[in-house]
C-alpha cells in the first residue's frame, strides 16, 4: 500500500514556486534604472550592493537578494543611494515587487490540485513581503490552494530562523516532522532542519545541486517532481 512521507508541504516562493532568474532578473534591472534616475554612477552602485550583473542581466549566485527580506534589500539599496530613506524604500519595493512579471517554475494550478488530492495541506513561507506574496499567488491563481501563507513581515520572523516554519506546523496542528519544507536556497534548508522538518531542495533558483545536496533529504529538478518523491 502506498503511503506519503508527510502530511503537509511548506513552499518557499521565489526560486521554488516561481523561477528566480526569469522572474526577478529583468525586474531588478528595471528597478535599478528607475531608482538611478539616469545616473550611471547610482545604477552601478546599486548593482554592486545587490550583487547584480547588469551586463549579464542576472544576479550573482552569492547575491544577498536571493534569500533576503524586503527590508534587507531596502537597506542595501539605500546604502547605495545617498539620502535615501530605508523606511520609504521598503514599502515602495514591496509594492513594485507585487507587480513583477511571474515565471512559474512548473504549471502551478494543476500541481497544487494534485497535491491537495493526495490529502496534503499546503503553505507558503517567503522572505518576501506578505503584500508581494499574496499578489503573486493571486496572479498565479493558486492562492486558494494554500492553508497558510506568511512573508517575512507577517510577524513570525524570516528564514533561516525556524520560527515561521514552526508557526505553520502549529497552525495546522502537525508535528514538524510531518511537514516537508521545499526551497531553492540554503536559508530554506537550514530553517527546515532547525524546525525538525524534512527538507527538499529544488534547482529552479540560483543554487546548484552540490550547494544543496549536503543539506537536503532530496534535491529535485523542480517542484513538479514532488508528488512522486512524497510517495513511499
DSSP per-residue string spanning 174-210: --GGGEEEEESSHHHHHHHHHHT-EEEEESSSS--HH
Number of domains composing the chain: 2
Closest to 13 in 3D by CA, of 227, 199, 198, 202: 202
| Domain-ending residue, one of 97, 130, 155 | 97
Q: Does residue 69 surpass a pLDDT of 90?
A: yes
Write phi, then psi, for 28 (nearest 5 degrees).
-60, -40
Whether residue 129 contacts residue 151, with contact meaning beta carbons closer than 8 Å, is answered with yes
- The percentage of the chain sitting over the pLDDT mark of 70, rounded to a whole number, equals 99
* Same domain for 143 and 60: no
How does the average pLDDT of the chain come out, rounded? 95
Does a structural domain hold residue 146?
Answer: yes
pLDDT one-digit tens code per residue, 93-112: 999 999 888 999 999 999 99
Name the helix (H) or strand (E) containing 123.
strand 121-125
Q: Does residue 14 surpass a pLDDT of 80?
A: yes
- Location of C-alpha cell 546548484: 208
Q: Does residue 26 surpass a pLDDT of 50?
A: yes
> The domain that contains 108 carries what CATH number?
3.40.50.1000
Of 2 and 32, more confident: 32
d(CA 4, CA 82): 53
Task: Count the neighbouring beta carbons within 10 Å of the beta carbon of residue 79.
Answer: 13
* Same domain for 209 and 150: yes
Task: Count the neighbouring beta carbons within 10 Å of the beta carbon of residue 131.
Answer: 16
| Domain-ending residue, one of 47, 64, 97 | 97
Name the helix (H) or strand (E) containing 170.
helix 163-171
Average pLDDT over residues 203-232: 97
* Same domain for 187 and 152: yes
- Location of C-alpha cell 530553517: 191
- Location of C-alpha cell 517567503: 126
What is the domain extent for residue 46?
A: 21-97
Does a structural domain hold residue 1?
Answer: no
* Same domain for 124 and 79: no
Closest to 215 in 3D by CA, of 200, 196, 195: 200
Q: What is the pLDDT of residue 70?
A: 92
Q: Does residue 195 surpass a pLDDT of 50?
A: yes
pLDDT one-digit tens code per residue, 143-157: 999 999 999 999 999
Q: What is the pLDDT of residue 1?
A: 40
H helical segments located in 14-155: 20-36, 40-50, 70-80, 86-97, 108-117, 130-139
Whether residue 150 contacts residue 12, with contact meaning beta carbons closer than 8 Å, is answered with no
Amino acid at each position: 500500500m502506498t503511503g506519503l512521507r508527510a502530511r503537509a508541504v511548506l513552499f518557499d516562493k521565489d526560486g521554488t514556486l516561481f523561477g528566480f532568474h526569469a522572474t526577478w532578473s529583468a525586474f531588478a534591472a528595471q528597478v535599478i534604472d528607475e531608482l538611478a534616475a539616469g545616473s550611471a554612477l547610482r545604477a552601478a552602485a546599486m548593482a554592486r550592493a545587490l550583487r547584480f550583473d547588469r551586463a549579464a542581466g542576472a544576479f550573482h549566485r552569492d547575491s544577498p537578494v536571493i534569500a533576503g527580506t524586503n527590508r534587507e534589500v531596502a537597506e542595501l539599496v539605500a546604502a547605495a543611494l545617498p539620502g535615501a530613506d530605508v523606511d520609504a524604500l521598503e514599502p515602495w519595493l514591496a509594492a513594485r515587487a507585487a507587480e513583477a512579471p511571474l515565471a512559474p517554475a512548473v504549471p502551478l494550478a494543476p500541481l497544487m490540485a494534485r497535491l491537495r488530492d493526495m490529502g496534503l495541506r499546503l503553505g507558503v513561507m517567503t522572505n518576501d513581503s506578505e503584500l508581494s506574496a499574496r499578489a503573486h499567488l493571486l496572479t498565479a491563481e493558486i492562492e486558494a490552494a494554500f492553508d497558510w501563507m506568511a512573508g517575512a513581515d507577517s510577524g513570525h520572523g524570516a528564514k533561516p530562523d525556524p520560527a515561521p516554519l514552526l508557526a505553520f506546523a502549529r497552525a495546522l496542528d502537525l508535528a514538524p516532522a510531518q511537514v516537508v519544507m521545499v526551497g531553492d536556497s540554503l536559508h530554506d534548508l537550514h530553517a527546515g532542519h532547525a524546525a525538525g522538518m524534512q527538507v527538499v531542495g529544488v534547482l529552479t533558483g540560483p543554487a546548484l545541486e552540490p550547494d544543496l545536496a549536503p543539506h537536503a533529504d532530496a534535491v529535485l529538478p523542480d517542484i513538479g517532481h514532488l508528488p512522486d518523491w512524497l510517495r513511499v
